[in-house]
Amino acid sequence: MSEILSKISEAIIEGNAEDMAELTHDALDDGLSAQDVLDKGLMTGMDHVGVEFKAGNMFVPEVLRSARAMQTAMEILRPILVKAGARPTGKVLLGTVKGDLHDIGKNLVGIMCEGAGFEVKDIGKDIAPEGFIAAIKEFNPDVVGLSALLTTTMRVMGHTIKALEEAGLRDKVKVIVGGAPVTQAFADQIHADGYAPNAAAAAELARKLVGAA
């Protein structure tokens, strides 16, 4: 790996957003493509962050710092990638279900999915089933992620999946669920396509579901 790509990976792992813009511009000035910077610099760093987070060696504040560094670089790279016609891994739609205002976990999932090459649309928190339906029709995602952090709002995940069935959209998307009280058994019970215990696992699961892993 070139020295500049190693520095970019390192900056992601250290959560060094301050130097990220300069490093990204340096890499492009050196003749590296935006795709190489993404695949061999940013994603290499985020893969490491994902592994460490999953192993319990990195924690939410550190992952958020890495995420900020990633976003700084992506602001520079995204328009170049779009112009070059780079194809994303797939499209992921994320939202926290109706009645729940928690979003840190969901935000981390979005960052990890973007790091895994997905185009991500986050529709926020306290989203009713109709909100998911409207967003799916507009965005045409491959994967829909439902988040809930309260035992009282978990059941809304089931209502949302049921609403997707009634709207004729259930077969068009893979639905994954997550959040502190959510379990694999609950995901099976509401007929979700998958459950992830943390953000790194969610990105991995999304890749599997679109056949990219």
Span 99-157, pLDDT tens digits: 999 998 898 899 888 878 899 999 999 999 999 999 999 999 999 999 999 999 999 99
Q: Do 141 and 122 contact (CB within 8 A), yes or no?
A: no
Instruction: Quote the CA–CA distance of 35 and 41 in Å, as a whole number.
Output: 9
Q: What pLDDT band is residue 213 in, cutting at 50, 70 and 90?
A: low
Instruction: Quote the CA–CA distance of 64 and 121 in Å, as a whole number.
Output: 18
Strand partners, 177: 146, 195
Strand partners, 146: 95, 177
Instruction: Quote the CA–CA distance of 24 and 89 in Å, as a whole number.
Output: 22
Residue range 176-186, pLDDT digits in tens: 999 989 999 99
Q: Structural domains in the chain? A: 3-83 (1.10.1240.10), 91-209 (3.40.50.280)
Q: Do 171 and 84 contact (CB within 8 A), yes or no?
A: no
